[in-house]
Amino acid sequence: MQVATGKSILNGIAIGPLRIYKKAEAQTTVSSTLTPEEEYARFDAARVKAQEQLGVLYDKALDEVGEDNAAIFEIHQMMLDDDDYLDAVRGILETQGATAEYAASATGENFAAAFAAMEDEYMRARAADVKDISRRVVNVLLGVGDADMMADQPAILVADDLTPSETVQLDKTKLLGFITRHGSSNSHTAILARTMNIPALVGVDFQDEWDGKLAVIDGYNHCVYIEPAPELLSAMEEKRSNDLKQEALLQSLKKKPNITLDGKEIKVYANIGNAGDVGLVLQNDAQGIGLFRSEFLYLDSQDYPSEDQQFMLYKRVVETMAGKKVIIRTLDIGADKQADYFGLDKEENPALGYRAIRICLTRKEIFKTQLRAILRASAFGTVSVMFPMIISVREVRDAKEILEECRAELEERGVAMGNVEIGIMVETPAAVLLADELAEEVEFFSLGTNDLTQYTLAIDRQNPKLDNFYDSHHPAVLRMIRHTIEAGHRHGCWVGICGELGADQTLTETFLRYGVDELSVSPSSILPLRKIIRSLDLSKESQD
């Protein structure tokens, strides 16, 4: 038996034969007998054809993984319209007298190398995307179709890497799991794998001799066993069987109340990034949306989204939730979330810089456009608004004043609105220490534990060198959470958690004992969290 390790994309078990897929590298001719203008015309025709293919993939992904994940292929289409990308292709054609396929391939490699060298992990993961679009254009130019990567029998696919388009095209009836040598847990391919519930490992140094051998992907332990011993294989089969039973059990919890054995009720809401996520929210029976990350609308746009664009998106979500609460976090852009058209300066410490509410309070028209859209959507359901990155009472009062200005403007226009509950994100030590004063200004708090942990521990959570020092269970972080809950309750505020810790089942009992009123998590975490809540008896003393 051999054992190899990697990074797990999904906690799950896959058992079956390995099939190693090797991409046939397209052979490109470097020098052309045509003029640069003629070669660019060839490239442009292939680019348009590639965009048409991506449109087909978008439709397929829309059916299988939802709108938010299908948007990957819209992004790929836009990348093929990017001026820098097109200028680079044209430059190679003109300076090197190259063929269109060589220019497209070289541009893809150059841009991918530039992305891979960036400090931000999300941007590094985009290297695979630019390679994907360039390879597609080259294949169109050479008349090469998409390869069939799966055999006739179900198998675990093994490859150097998989692009998002390759992942979406895989036959899910035959794909047991996949293993790649390259890739990251933040890549679009990884995101698709999680959405499609496919056990996968990335960063595995596999060997060609594995082809055809029986293997087990153990997503829980981040490893793959090749030709496992009979007793291990039996244990893994039992684990997989238990996983399937557990999934069925979780589904049985739908429509049941989130009440502990001793009668404590807690709200379990969902975090979403786009309207396309609402299907998963309903599928997993969330009681509401505790965090609608509105900045993704801005990140997916080429210019500031208009009031009507935002209103239609919010309205769609609010109507679909049919009266269940929808908490919309106002624009939280800056730091690791950048949109070029905002014209934000490069900062030495972006996490401590010009971001979120600081942008909104100094660029009031951008803020007011969003607030008017939210107020208009409130006429169609139960809407709350939440301000991020608050550090002072003054900021809350200024934001509320702008909200009232927007309400007055809409009233003048005769626009219908509902009552909008106002809350803030508590994600800075300053907000924690001022929680009593802030609770006098708002109706709820939502703890953003990702940033709260980062700022409390003075650790950049994007820096992998600090992983050994980053401790989301640090006593200081937990005390901050408890202090916020107690302060909120003293002043009639309900308090929720919408950061990653909300889904940490090892802390669920702790948070309930602190008195938290709501937990907002990714849709896939809702039912497992509900099972934990319904098993707890808070009347008994904690074992800690």
Residues involved in catalysis: 188, 498
| 155 close to 19: Cβ distance less than 8 angstroms | yes
| 482 close to 453: Cβ distance less than 8 angstroms | no
Token pair listed for 193: 């794998």
Cα 452 to Cα 449: distance, rounded to the nearest angstrom: 5
Token pair listed for 206: 């596999």
Cα 450 to Cα 337: distance, rounded to the nearest angstrom: 15
Cα 108 to Cα 238: distance, rounded to the nearest angstrom: 45
Which residue carries 């990714």 as its tokens?
Answer: 522
Distances (CA, A) of 86 to 79, 83, 103, 294: 9, 5, 10, 31
Cα 265 to Cα 276: distance, rounded to the nearest angstrom: 29
Cα 88 to Cα 113: distance, rounded to the nearest angstrom: 14
Residue 309 φ/ψ, nearest 5 degrees? -60, -45
The residues with which 496 forms a beta bridge, in sequence order, are 446, 518
CA 457 to chain centre: 24
| 101 close to 29: Cβ distance less than 8 angstroms | yes
Token pair listed for 476: 């200081």
Token pair listed for 381: 């359901």
